[in-house]
Amino acid sequence: MRGMLRRHRGTQAAARRALAASATGQSSGLSLMTPLGLLAGDVLMFVERQGRMTMAQLLQEVKGPASMVLMAVGSLIRQGLVRAIQQDVDVIVEPCAVEA
């Protein structure tokens, strides 16, 4: 189990470096999909824990470049895990109900 945890932390660290490199316009040689997937996981956990919130609140709370957070939210919407509702000038993000 510890070996798996170490590998996961190593993968996470590499993905975080790739995310930081993409934010600064540098090429890390890693695919954008890995950091985007990790960020989508962070967004999903946060939205499931906190519930309904505005996109502005989500952007303030989740660490990462705004463009990456928006891509992560879009990915989660396409997967049917969260939904976004426009309310006046705000966009509300909320978890989708799980069907049994």
Beta bridge partners of 91: 86
pTM tops 0.75, yes or no? no
- What's the structural domain count of the chain? 1
What residues make up the domain containing 72?
2-95
Whether residue 100 is contained in a domain is answered as no
Q: Which pLDDT tens digit goes with each residue over 44-75? A: 999 999 999 999 999 999 988 999 999 999 99
Q: Which pLDDT tens digit goes with each residue over 74-100? A: 999 999 999 999 999 999 999 987 665
Closest CA to 73 of 88, 54, 98, 87: 54
Sheet holding 90-95, edge to edge: 53-54, 90-95, 82-87
- ∠ CA 74-63-37, nearest 5°, is 45
Supply the CATH number for residue 81's domain: 1.10.10.10
